A and B are shown apart, each in its own frame.
Chain A
Amino acid sequence: MKTRHELTEILDFIAEYATYLLGSGVHTSRAIRNSQRIGQSLGVDVQLSSFQRSTILTVRDDDSGEALTRVVRIPSLPISFERNSDLSALSWDALDDHLPLAEIRRRYDELTAKPLIDPIFVLLTVGLANASFCRLFGGDWTAMAIVFTSTLVGYAAKQRMQAHGLNHFLIFIISAFMASLCASAALRFDCTAETALATSVLYLVPGVPLINGVIDIVEGHILIGCSRLINALLLIICIAIGLAATLVMVKDSLL
């Protein structure tokens, strides 16, 4: 039997936990399962349904039958697989070790305070990755070098714009435009210029929302799955717009 205050505390924690998961790119059924697992460890039943921007959740005390409901906004956080793994593991630990709420909260704060991967490291590996990608599509070494450089420019611009909180559609358009414009320098050299142009924007492909959307749809969360896919599609259209701006300028040398 829980007092109303205890139940509210549990509700607030699970609301924060679930929206943190959904905000950092976890597919819906995992967020629901993890929240229910934490609820189970604390002796309450948790039901939640989620949309793209907000989540509705209800916590019900198994003993007294008292129920509380909240609608919570989903924060827009950077996608983080590390948080996804850590917080999922936390839900299992809570269940297996019967952790009290204060301890779960302490570990949650600890895990979410961990720093993200160093941005400079990400920048360099993204550059290398896109260069290898160019190679996979049959690009030669010159094209790879050009793709590496243009990815550095495009991704660094993206990081700066994200730090300033620019609208993310604009970020995608500008970043794709800058990267492809730099890559169009390949037309001056004797190399696989078309491959370089094509690959230069691929670091922007929104893989996580695409795949999460498919997972959600197949698991029956069709509404939010479609929302994710539409979101991913919009981002892909933004990439295409940025790339198209470059192509319109250089199309005569491509034919």
Chain B
Amino acid sequence: MIALDILLDGLFAAVAAIGFGAISDPPMRAFPRIALLAAVGHALRFSMMNYAGVDIASASLCAAMVIGFGSLWLGRGVRCPMTVLYIPALLPMVPGIYAYKTVFSLIMFLQSLNDPGQGMQYMQLFFLNATVSLSVIALLAAGATLPIFVFNHQAFSLTRRRRPGIRNDEPTNPASGPMPESATPHRPQSDDPNTPDHASK
């Protein structure tokens, strides 16, 4: 039952990521990997919060870091910069309910100015929810961005077709040096299954 809950959570997160990603026009080849990252990230946060008793902020940070490192690892295969994969994958983790409650308690505070007791209660709720929303969003962004700084060399060359050093041991591509332009359209695209994922590590 627990496994089913986690799987369902990942599934809905994947659908959410695909839809929210579609707004920002990602390349079609990136969709499966966006869905995978979102599912893994959200399911991890769900498990941490529900079964390990971790708070939402720390769990979001961990999930965001997993998504960040995952996008570094998966970005090479589809020649996408990390942000293309991880921004849509992070969106299902936006703390929507807290954000909603922030707005709601602000309105209720403004409606209950004549009743200081109730007003205080709503103000307290406002700060509680605003703090949670802001810290979760900040930690999500920071956690996913961390890998860019740790592995900046790899992160900057994800969209590179030819990796440094591959020119010498690539038997199918004997022409070293500048490639003739006519040859470029025939080169395999990045979603070519021959591109080994492990080589990107």
Report the Cα distance A147→B20, complex, angstroms: 14
| Number of cross-chain contacts by CB at 8 Å | 177
> How close is A83's CB to chain B, nearest CB, in angstroms?
8
B54 at the A/B interface (Cβ < 8 Å)? no
Asked if residues A198 and B100 are in contact (CB atoms below 8 Å), the reply is: yes
Select which of A78, A88, A96, A214 is within 8 A of B81 by beta carbon.
Answer: A88
Asked if residues B83 and A127 are in contact (CB atoms below 8 Å), the reply is: no
Asked if residues B160 and A89 are in contact (CB atoms below 8 Å), the reply is: yes
Chain B residues in 8 Å Cβ range of A135: 12
Asked if residues B83 and A212 are in contact (CB atoms below 8 Å), the reply is: yes
Asked if residues A211 and B87 are in contact (CB atoms below 8 Å), the reply is: yes
B157 at the A/B interface (Cβ < 8 Å)? yes
Asked if residues A132 and B87 are in contact (CB atoms below 8 Å), the reply is: no
Chain B residues in 8 Å Cβ range of A76: none
Asked if residues A244 and B156 are in contact (CB atoms below 8 Å), the reply is: no
Assess A215 versus B148: contact at CB under 8 Å? Given A30-B81, A136-B92: yes
Asked if residues B20 and A251 are in contact (CB atoms below 8 Å), the reply is: no
Asked if residues B80 and A96 are in contact (CB atoms below 8 Å), the reply is: no
Chain A residues in 8 Å Cβ range of B13: 132, 136
The secondary structure that dominates the B interface is helix
> How close is A57's CB to chain B, nearest CB, in angstroms?
20
B30 at the A/B interface (Cβ < 8 Å)? yes
Chain A residues in 8 Å Cβ range of B97: 137, 195, 198
A35 at the A/B interface (Cβ < 8 Å)? no
B27 at the A/B interface (Cβ < 8 Å)? yes
Nearest A residue to B179 via CB reads A97
A117 at the A/B interface (Cβ < 8 Å)? yes
> How close is A42's CB to chain B, nearest CB, in angstroms?
13
> How close is A28's CB to chain B, nearest CB, in angstroms?
12
Report the Cα distance A248→B103, complex, angstroms: 11
A221 at the A/B interface (Cβ < 8 Å)? no
Give the contact stretch, choosing among A11-19, A62-70, A166-174, A202-210: A202-210
Chain B residues in 8 Å Cβ range of A198: 96-97, 99-101
Asked if residues B83 and A27 are in contact (CB atoms below 8 Å), the reply is: yes
Select which of A27, A79, A96, A211 is within 8 A of B90 by beta carbon.
Answer: A211
> How close is B173's CB to chain A, nearest CB, in angstroms?
12
Chain B interface size band reads: 35 or more
Report the Cα distance A91→B156, complex, angstroms: 12
Asked if residues A207 and B145 are in contact (CB atoms below 8 Å), the reply is: no
Asked if residues A211 and B107 are in contact (CB atoms below 8 Å), the reply is: no
Nearest B residue to A85 via CB reads B80
Report the Cα distance A236→B100, complex, angstroms: 11
Chain B residues in 8 Å Cβ range of A122: 22-23
- Contact mask A69-98 → B, CB, 8 Å, 1/0? 000000000111111111011011100111
Report the Cα distance A91→B184, complex, angstroms: 14
Assess A130 versus B79: contact at CB under 8 Å? Given A92-B157, A207-B90, A247-B104: no
Q: Name the interface residues of B115-139: CB closer than 8 Å to any CB of A.
A: 137-138
B40 at the A/B interface (Cβ < 8 Å)? no
Select which of A85, A126, A127, A247 is within 8 A of B79 by beta carbon.
Answer: A85
Assess A247 versus B22: contact at CB under 8 Å? Given A85-B81, A86-B27, A136-B12: no
Asked if residues B107 and A137 are in contact (CB atoms below 8 Å), the reply is: no
Asked if residues B100 and A243 are in contact (CB atoms below 8 Å), the reply is: yes
Report the Cα distance A133→B92, complex, angstroms: 7
Report the Cα distance A3→B137, complex, angstroms: 50
> How close is A236's CB to chain B, nearest CB, in angstroms?
8
Asked if residues B144 and A211 are in contact (CB atoms below 8 Å), the reply is: yes
New A-B contacts (10) at CB < 8 Å, excluding given A92-B162, A198-B99, A247-B104 = A80-B25, A81-B83, A86-B27, A89-B161, A125-B22, A132-B92, A133-B96, A199-B96, A207-B94, A210-B137
**Which residues of A does B touch, CB under 8 Å?**
25-27, 30, 33, 78-86, 88-89, 91-93, 96-99, 103, 116-117, 121-122, 125-130, 132-133, 135-137, 194-195, 197-199, 202-203, 205, 207-208, 210-212, 214-215, 218, 236, 240, 243-244, 247-248, 251, 254
**Which residues of B does A touch, CB under 8 Å?**
9, 12-13, 15-28, 30, 42, 78-81, 83-84, 86-88, 90-92, 94, 96-97, 99-104, 106-108, 111, 137-138, 141-142, 144-145, 148-149, 156-157, 159-162, 178-179, 181, 184
